[in-house]
């Protein structure tokens, strides 16, 4: 029996082309495996092989979503794959979104099984877990060795047409799908058993986890802009030149509070970005491209807004955990409230 054909999708970084400065490269396809494809190929070697690898820059994909998808689908089609793998993307946000988006498109257009791998906090996981299988990985490429066997196992299972098991069995992120099955005990007995375990303080698994609706009600609009105090918050990592707080370029453990009372404009001499998740060249030349201090100062002078708050708050939203971000923002929010700020402009890169 000939081997099944797999096409693999990776970004510019895993292809060894370059980091953020190459994140704008257009899609290309190469024969065989590239980068992490080598380990995946080895793990599926008995029944399948990676016949081609698509490489695309993360920024290019996300900024040109429709065009990128169209081009890549055409590229992939030519290789007649039986299955499509994207990533793993770990905790790389744009890569995760790209993997989820292209895998979903391939599944719909070519009608073949697809899968990806991501860290649970990757925004791509939340966006695409319902439509595709996403193997749950660690948060960095250092966990590749754990991710590959799980991805390979599911790949082979799907290629053989075997039924995919429950999320904990096949190590993927729950998709919110319920399947009927015949349980050994009837419902009343299972419920009492669960209650007994709970009373004894023993671990138990619910049969119906509550969905988490993590949403916040929109706040009321500003009534009179000419009296409003507006503050800037950013995850784009803008800091005074030299990064005095030493905010990390990824997985930030802190945020900075910076006085801009003397500034009508941010420049290359005064500020820069500490962010390691995008090409910093343009933000460093003119930091107003990430936080619009110049324009807001103009609007303040013209009387369009009441005032621009004299402090801005900044952190690096690059692989930074949801928990840290929440903590930073809760502190920032308290400070803004105490300072009588009416509304916030939050910019992200």
Interacting residue ranges for other proteins, rule: CB under 8 A = 20, 23, 59, 62-63, 93-94, 97, 123, 126-127, 214-223, 225, 228, 230, 233, 235-236, 278-283, 285-286, 288-292, 294-296, 298-299, 304-305, 315, 317, 325-326, 328-330, 332-334, 336-337, 341-349
- The residues, ordered by sequence, that sit 6+ positions from 181 with a Cβ below 8 Å of its Cβ are none
Q: Are 321 and 252 in contact, with CB atoms under 8 Å apart?
A: no
Residue with smaller CB distance to other proteins, 13 or 33: 13
Residue with smaller CB distance to other proteins, 43 or 333: 333
42-47 long-range contacts, Cβ below 8 Å, gap at least 24? 43/148, 43/149, 43/151, 43/152, 44/6, 44/152, 44/155, 44/156, 46/156, 47/3, 47/4, 47/156, 47/159, 47/160
Residue with smaller CB distance to other proteins, 47 or 250: 250
Q: How far is the CB of 132 from other proteins (least distance, A)?
A: 15
Residue with smaller CB distance to other proteins, 164 or 345: 345
Q: Tell me which residue has tokens 């053989």.
A: 160
Angstrom distance (rounded) from CA 173 to CA 118: 9
Q: Are 139 and 91 in contact, with CB atoms under 8 Å apart?
A: yes
Cα-based angle 134, 348, 104 (whole degrees, multiple of 5): 25
Distance set, CA 167 to CA 56, 86, 175, 203 (Å): 29, 19, 8, 19
Residue with smaller CB distance to other proteins, 33 or 61: 61
Residue with smaller CB distance to other proteins, 49 or 288: 288
Q: How far is the CB of 231 from other proteins (least distance, A)?
A: 9
Q: How far is the CB of 146 from other proteins (least distance, A)?
A: 26
Residue with smaller CB distance to other proteins, 7 or 252: 252
Angstrom distance (rounded) from CA 110 to CA 80: 9
Angstrom distance (rounded) from CA 319 to CA 235: 11
Q: Tell me which residue has tokens 């096409």.
A: 7
The length of the chain in residues reads: 349
Q: How far is the CB of 114 from other proteins (least distance, A)?
A: 18
Candidates 247, 237, 301, 295; CA nearest to 271 is: 237
Q: How far is the CB of 14 from other proteins (least distance, A)?
A: 18
Q: How far is the CB of 338 from other proteins (least distance, A)?
A: 11
Q: How far is the CB of 24 from other proteins (least distance, A)?
A: 8
Q: How far is the CB of 76 from other proteins (least distance, A)?
A: 22
Residue with smaller CB distance to other proteins, 63 or 185: 63
């Amino acid at each position: 029996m000939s081997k099944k054909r797999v096409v693999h999708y990776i970004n510019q970084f895993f292809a060894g082309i370059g980091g953020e400065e190459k994140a704008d490269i257009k899609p290309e396809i190469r024969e065989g495996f590239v980068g992490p494809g080598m380990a995946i190929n080895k793990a599926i070697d008995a029944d399948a092989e990676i016949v081609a690898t698509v490489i695309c820059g993360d920024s290019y994909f996300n900024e040109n979503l429709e065009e990128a998808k169209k081009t890549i689908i055409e590229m992939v089609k030519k290789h007649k794959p039986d299955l499509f793998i994207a990533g793993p993307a770990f905790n790389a946000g744009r890569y995760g979104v790209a993997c989820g988006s292209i895998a979903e498109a391939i599944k719909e257009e070519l009608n073949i099984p697809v899968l990806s791998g991501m860290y649970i906090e990757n925004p791509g996981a939340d966006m695409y877990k319902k439509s595709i299988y996403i193997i749950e990985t660690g948060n960095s490429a250092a966990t590749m060795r754990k991710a590959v066997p799980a991805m390979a196992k599911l790949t082979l299972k799907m290629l053989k047409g075997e039924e995919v098991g429950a999320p904990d069995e096949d190590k993927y992120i729950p998709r919110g799908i319920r399947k009927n099955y015949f349980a050994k005990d009837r419902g009343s007995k299972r419920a009492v058993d669960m209650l007994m375990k709970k009373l004894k303080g023993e671990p138990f698994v619910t049969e119906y986890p509550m969905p988490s609706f993590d949403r916040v009600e929109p706040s009321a609009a500003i009534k009179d802009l000419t009296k409003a105090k507006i503050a800037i918050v950013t995850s784009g990592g803008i800091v005074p030149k030299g990064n005095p707080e030493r905010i990390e370029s990824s997985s930030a453990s802190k945020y900075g509070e910076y006085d801009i009372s003397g500034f009508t404009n941010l420049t290359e001499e005064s500020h820069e970005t500490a962010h390691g998740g995008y090409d910093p060249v343009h933000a460093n030349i003119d930091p107003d491209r990430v936080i619009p201090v110049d324009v807001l100062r103009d609007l303040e002078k013209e009387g369009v807004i009441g005032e621009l708050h004299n402090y801005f708050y900044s952190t690096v939203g690059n692989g930074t955990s949801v928990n840290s971000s929440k903590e930073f923002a809760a502190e920032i929010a308290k400070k803004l409230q105490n300072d009588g700020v009416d509304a916030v402009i939050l910019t992200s890169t």
